[in-house]
Structure 1
Amino acid sequence: MTLTPHAIMAMLLTAGSLFLLSRESVRLEYASVAILVVMVLTFELYPAGGADAVRGADFLAGFGNEALITICLLLILAKGVEASGALRPVGKLLTRLWLYNRSLALLATLLVAAFVSAFANNTPIVVMLLPVLVGVAHRIGLPPSKMLMPVGFATIVGGMSTSIGTSTNLLVVSIAADMGLPRLGMFDFALPAFVAGLFGIIYLWLALPRLLPQRPTLLEDAEPRIFDSVLTISPDSPLDGKTLSEVMSMLGTDIRISKIERGAGLEVVRLPTLTLQPGDRLKLRGSPESIGTALEHAGGKSEAKIEADEEEQLVEIVVTPDSALHNKRLSQLQPGTLRSLQPVGWHRPGRGKTAAMAPFTDPDLRTGDVLLMQGSEEDIEALMREARMLILARSVTMPRVSKAPLAIGIMAGVVALAAVGLLSIVASALAGVGLMLATGCLTWREAISAIDTRLALVIAASLALGTALSGTGAAAWIAHGFVEIAADLPPPLVLSVLLLLTALLTEVVTNNAIAVIATPIAVSVATELGLPPLPFVLAILFGANMSYLTPIGYQTNLLVMSAGGYRFGDFFRGGLPLQLILWATLSGLLTIIYL
């Protein structure tokens, strides 16, 4: 087979795009837009000849792709279930079970997480389960690192069993149908997924907790970190007669003056030019060390007593893609976003220990980052009512929401209508979204916030790359080369190698991109070999879901990494056996059932 200049161009653009998408320093949405711009301009300025040639405008068709629309609708439905607190009864039941029998509770949690993830996006499932599991872990004295990774992996295992379990599944099914293959139904590949998943769940239950080390979490020490103190200025104090700005310089940057009282409880406006007088009372807020240093600078007969509010708690706030904190600095947040909670530390996965939150620390928050905050239970409860905040607290519970049964019923109806074939998944999902909005299970604001623009852009860019590879003949050329290399190998081994390569690639590049690019290649490989394309398509589908070796391979891995205090190597240690189990099992099952 010969390569046309446009096929070479498509392969070079794909290679560059995969490299760009794998860079942690480049945001996915920026990389996706850059890929689309370059591809559209390149093929518009240098169009291929012929009536069926790929044009630049063709690469924008991904925004109207049925799979992308379905994914957005399912994300909105998942947000309705999440916002209603519909899984709260499940969380209560699991809590009782954990207190009764840890081993049985872990198995039940794994099965529940896997089952629910088969019908809903697994990221919201992990978001809903994390606070429950962390609270239970602290209550029974079990390190969260022993349970969170198994549960996170279980949601990925369960998600690959139906056509709506993950966005990757929907994309592969849609692309295969566009290429002329029969459209796969919701449960058409559930058998191999169920059998392989069963072996995976057994490993997650019996072996993985023993392989994982005990890791400290941010909430290991639950004592308050920020304290209040009152400093009364005496006539011979060095602070007497100084302006507020001068006093703040003398006390140091690690202390905050939250209030100044003068006379009979009169609060004075904290202007930089305010001159302090004897008898003024300064309410300080900071760590015990910073307060002690401030008192030393005050000198004279200044009096202070360090007191901590017994009702204040420490909580972790995990930055998620739809959070108000995502890609923001603390200084950029709208007033009241975090209520009156005080930041005392922050942590970025893979960057070592938690850093103290100094006054001028203003990190650019990313997905997976954790803020350690201190504040009142009232403020924490208010934040937990917001669907876009992932809060990990020991003693604060989610409020009871009356719409929960209705939300669950609508979600179940959507799945049932699509499963029996009465409606297509896009039609049933659209009807479900309309019902959730009409019945008040979901607000318009929540519905809009549920649409992950980053995911939409990555999918659109990936579809554009797939179009370029297929339309220019590059996919057929790659498949021909792969078949020539593997010509002497038996078809089951070729299938197994394709599954393994996909699984390894998805550890460093977003799984949606790999799935979209690899599906046309898999169909071409099957055609070259004269074999049915379905097992090769399913190899791509399953392989693109097997993201267990690194925390960056899947979004749920990042979430449990932060909450469980895991290190980068913990995922390789715990994920490699699971990867091998699923690879070997699925390779055999796809061969037996479909080849």
Structure 2
Amino acid sequence: MEASGLAIIVILVVSFQLFPYVVNGERLAPTAFLAGFGNEALITICALMIMGKGLEATGALQPLAMFLAKAWTARPKLASLATLGIAAILSAFLNNTPVVIMLLPMLIGVAVRNKFAPSSILMPVGFATLIGGMATTIGTSTNLLIVGIAADQGLEPFGMFDFTLPVLMVGVVGVLYLWLIAPRLLPERKQPLSDRSPRVFNAMFHINETSAACGLTFAEGLALTGNEMRVDRIERGDGLSVTKLPLVKILAGDRLAVRDTPDRLKRFEKQLGATLHGALGADDVTSETHALKDLQHLAEIVVTRGSLLHRATLVGTRFARRTGLLPLAVHRAREPGIEEISGDIGTTRLRAGDVVLVQGADSQLEQLKRSGTVLVLDGTTNLPRTHRADRALVIMILVVLAAAIGILPISVSAIVGVGAMLATRCLTWKDASGALSAQVIMIIVASLALGLAMTETGGAVYIAQGFVEGARLLPTPFILSMLMLVMAILTNVVSNAAAGIIGTPIAIQMARELGVPAEPFVVAVIFGVNMSYATPFGYQTNLLLLSAGGYKFSDFMRAGVPLTALMWLGFSIVLPIIYDL
């Protein structure tokens, strides 16, 4: 897609350089097609993408995901509706992608625990974020682009909530469809969990006097984790094993042996107020207040034959002091004749093929890779900077409020928000640069260039006149409805940004030809291009769903086409009433 966008820009620049276009004595400069790189809407989109990364990097939305996970255990049907509603509301103010990324692991875990196919819920939740994204000017990047183009063409600037009412009216129907009907339309698709699921590690939680679990019964301690944690045994003192009875008290100094995935282990650590018992030495313990608290990466290293750790222990090799990395847990594949791990991981004799979960800095992991003493697996996991989650959330709320109340334009507000997140270390410069998508930027700039060419050469006027001429005898609400349907079809074939940027000047010109206000026609374009339900490449989050849910192309058609028809009919009824057409 980046290559296609660049090719479009190059073709336009070269074409208008070789074949100058002059109107009213003024030449359309080829460099005008590069102005999209400095477009205010594009800068705003980039700033909001970076802020979304800030929420993701700090884990600011994880408490919400954990709340939903608990609700799924108690009342799955109502939890499903709550998940759809929350996904839609969040997407009205945040980029859809971090919302979907936050919810995917939780939903897959819920599906596995409750023995139903993830495919029945993942796509409905993804579609709910697209419905919510319609509700505000900042809901999607396409919304920002369209309202920016409309303002450039002389329309009054849209307020953040100017088209929220029709979305509330029709969106409720759409969410109910996703809750009650869509899961029945989707076939059960088996997710390849055996290939994609994270490894399960043996770990030890150390309970101290300040732990939330200290003094609670065993049952109460498990409740802190939503009863998701499975404890193999409780160790007390020198090798004493305590029976796991519900009323047994958890005391300071106890060690809980647990088997789970890296992300869940870190989550349980926070919920219990416990510390992962690292293999530094006899008395060393890892924690969020440890000297290594700012190291924000988890990585997996494989013990190979002849390596430092082969047939040795983590304590005996002084692994932590040699590498600067903190061992947290050990994974050993279950195979016939292979002894399972029991006891302290620090004193466990490691075998070839064992995987050690470690925490450390990029530089230390890179140094270990270069040493060649062990195999470091690619794909380290960034640990959320949870102690900065509140700051990130407050900054995001203030940015939205400043724009909604009119204190600052959203472009200025978003840039100030990025600066605040960097200044408060919710984000690193690496996070900020990694949040920007070259694909999205090139598509937007290329689409802006195409839109400029259509507007300046009269192409938009020509298309609008042809459309209106063919439908002149039809009522205005019907023409509005047809425009929205064309946009809905187009957005599932090309990118929604391209459809919106090209469709907006045509819609405005159509309204002028009909002698009616242009605002409802612009809103129709916004709603139409956000109906990216029918194909996996209609929107970038659809591609995430395609992989995570094990869907086929036909599944998007099966659930997406009825939703598109429902939303289109709903808006076709509501918009003429609201805008008095």
TM-score by length of 1: 0.69
| Partners of 1:555 and 1:101 in 2: CA distance | 31
Q: Is the 8 A contact 2:71 2:79 kept in 1?
A: yes
Read off the aligned partner of 1:79 and give its amino acid letter: K
Read off the aligned partner of 1:155 and give its amino acid letter: T
Partner of 1:535: 520
Partner of 2:458: 473
| Partners of 1:224 and 1:483 in 2: CA distance | 56
State the 1:196 CA deviation: 1.1
Task: Map Cα deviations across residues 466-502 of structure 1 (whole Å, 9 max, x no partner).
Answer: 0000001111011111111112211111111100010
1:165 to 129, 139, 142: 139
Whether 1:189 and 2:137 are equivalent positions in the alignment is no
| Partners of 2:195 and 2:44 in 1: CA distance | 44
Q: Is the 8 A contact 1:224 1:313 kept in 2?
A: no
1:438 to 415, 423, 437: 423
| Local SS of the residue matching 1:508 | coil
Partner of 2:42: 68
Map 1:114-129; keep pairs closer than 5 Å: 114-129=88-103
1:217 to 187, 191, 206: 191
1:80 to 37, 49, 54: 54
Partner of 1:500: 485
Question: Structure 1 residues 104, 307: closer, same or farther in 2, change over 3 A?
Answer: same
Partner of 2:21: 48
1:520 to 477, 483, 505: 505
2:397 to 398, 401, 412: 412
Partner of 1:450: 435
Map 1:150-299; keep pairs closer than 5 Å: 150-219=124-193, 258-259=304-305
Aligned length: 436
| Partners of 1:589 and 1:112 in 2: CA distance | 24
Q: Is the 8 A contact 2:304 2:375 kept in 1?
A: no
| Local SS of the residue matching 2:27 | coil
Partner of 1:29: 2
Partner of 2:114: 140
| Local SS of the residue matching 2:136 | coil
| Partners of 2:551 and 2:402 in 1: CA distance | 40
Q: Is the 8 A contact 2:303 2:354 kept in 1?
A: no
State the 1:221 CA deviation: 7.9
| Partners of 2:512 and 2:502 in 1: CA distance | 17
Question: Structure 1 residues 307, 555: closer, same or farther in 2, change over 3 A?
Answer: farther
Read off the aligned partner of 2:116 and give its amino acid letter: L
Q: Is the 8 A contact 1:162 1:190 kept in 2?
A: yes
Deviates more, 1:41-50 or 1:413-422: 41-50
- The share of aligned pairs that are identical, in percent, is 51
Partner of 2:68: 94
Read off the aligned partner of 1:445 and give its amino acid letter: K
Partner of 2:218: none
Q: Is the 8 A contact 2:45 2:141 kept in 1?
A: yes
Read off the aligned partner of 1:165 and give its amino acid letter: G
Partner of 2:216: none
State the 1:48 CA deviation: 1.5
State the 1:49 CA deviation: 2.2
| Local SS of the residue matching 2:59 | coil
State the 1:341 CA deviation: 7.2
Partner of 2:79: 105
Read off the aligned partner of 2:381 and give its amino acid letter: L
Task: Map Cα deviations across residues 119-171 of structure 1 (whole Å, 9 max, x no partner).
Answer: 01001110111111111221222211111111100000000100000000000
| Partners of 2:118 and 2:408 in 1: CA distance | 42
| Local SS of the residue matching 1:147 | helix
State the 1:52 CA deviation: 3.6
| Local SS of the residue matching 1:143 | coil
| Partners of 2:48 and 2:187 in 1: CA distance | 36
Partner of 2:381: 383
- Identify unmatched segments of 5+ residues in structure 2: 201-301, 313-332, 346-352, 356-368
| Partners of 2:341 and 2:149 in 1: CA distance | 58
Map 1:359-374; keep pairs closer than 5 Å: none
| Partners of 1:222 and 1:524 in 2: CA distance | 50
Q: Is the 8 A contact 1:547 1:554 kept in 2?
A: yes
Partner of 2:474: 489
Question: Structure 1 residues 459, 308: closer, same or farther in 2, change over 3 A?
Answer: farther
Partner of 1:39: 12
Read off the aligned partner of 2:55 and give its amino acid letter: V
4+ aligned runs moved over 6 Å, structure 1: 221-226, 304-314
Map 1:306-317; keep pairs closer than 5 Å: none
Whether 1:592 and 2:577 are equivalent positions in the alignment is yes
Question: Structure 1 residues 305, 195: closer, same or farther in 2, change over 3 A?
Answer: same
Q: Is the 8 A contact 1:222 1:313 kept in 2?
A: no
| Partners of 2:68 and 2:520 in 1: CA distance | 37
Whether 1:427 and 2:412 are equivalent positions in the alignment is yes
Question: Structure 1 residues 143, 469: closer, same or farther in 2, change over 3 A?
Answer: same
Q: Is the 8 A contact 2:50 2:418 kept in 1?
A: yes
| Local SS of the residue matching 1:488 | coil
Larger RCO (alpha carbons 8 Å, 6+ apart): 1
- Identify unmatched segments of 5+ residues in structure 1: 1-27, 227-255, 267-286, 292-303, 315-333, 344-379, 386-398
RMSD after superposition: 3.1
